[in-house]
Amino acid sequence: MERLLLTAEEVAEALHIGRTRVYALIAAKEITSVKIGGLRRIPVDAVREYAAHLVQLEQEAS
């Protein structure tokens, strides 16, 4: 079964950024996350949407 939720560490690895930056994106509401008990998880679709948003911003800037 395909994973639906990722840890901050997995998102950081996927985006090639630091874990602290992932938490900053969550705090700034730039990437969606959910809390399951005491755990913070990021939906795979939220990572894809964030990456697509970055590409769109880059295209608009050029």
Per-residue pLDDT of the chain (62 residues; tens, 9 = 90+): 999 999 999 999 999 999 999 999 999 999 999 999 999 999 999 999 999 999 999 999 98
Burial 27-44 (b: 16+ CB within 10 A, else e): eeeebebeeeeeeebbbb
The one-letter amino acid code at 9 reads E
Query: Residue 27 belongs to what domain range?
Result: 5-61
Looking at residue 62, its pLDDT comes to 85
Model pTM above 0.75? yes
Q: Rounded to whole angstroms, what are the CA distances from 23 to 20, 46, 56, 59?
A: 5, 14, 22, 26
> Total domain count for the chain?
1
